[in-house]
Structure 1
Amino acid sequence: MSSRTPEECIDLALAEDADAKARADAIRELRTANECDELEALVRREDLDERFRRQALEALATPQCDSTLRELVEEEPVGGSLREDAEELLATVEDDR
């Protein structure tokens, strides 16, 4: 596990000049640390490459982040195919309860 702060993970995930693996690792670190708000912010970043937005969305599919995932679906939905994916992930998380 890295000793990066959540802010450093976000900066790395957003860094277009960074290696794709390092960016994906930063998102995984946010998931491991249950940084739901930070993951949500990445999902909402329309200027972020969709593969990283999707990875952040998938990282929210945990019992610890289910309320954040619900916000993405119900309260302030994201657009397009990410919304459909968020709905499916939320259903999966709720079914696992």
Structure 2
Amino acid sequence: MSSRTPAECVDLALDEGADEENRAGAIRELKTANECDELAALVREERIADQYRHQALEALATPQCDSALRKLVNKGPLEGALGEEAEELLATVEDD
């Protein structure tokens, strides 16, 4: 694991100039560190590519982040496939 702070990971995930591997790695680091609020913020961030929003959403599908995932689903609709995926992931986490 790198020595990046959660804020640095978020910045890297949002950085359109960074390569795909580093951006995805930053999202994995947030998951490893259980930075649920930061992951949820990335899911709601409309200015980044959907692939990173989906990665952040999938990273929330853990028992440690179930409350953040629930807030995403209940707080307001996420558009299209992202919203459907959030509901499916929440159902999976709640079943465990």
TM range (shorter): over 0.9
* Paired residues for 1:9-88 under 5 Å: 9-88=9-88
TM-score normalised over the length of structure 1: 0.96
Task: Spell out structure 1 runs of 4+ moving beyond 4 A.
Answer: none
DSSP-derived class of the 1:65 partner: helix
Corresponding letter in the other structure for 1:55 = Q
**Contact 1:71–1:77, Cα closer than 8 Å, also in 2:** no
Secondary structure at 2:78's aligned position in 1? coil
CA distance in 1, matches of 2:35, 2:76: 18
For the aligned residues, what is the CA RMSD? Answer: 0.7
SS at match of 1:68: helix
User: How many residues were matched structurally?
Assistant: 96
State yes or no: 1:92 paired with 2:92. yes
Q: Percent identity?
A: 71
Instruction: Give unmatched runs, 5+ long, in structure 2.
Output: none
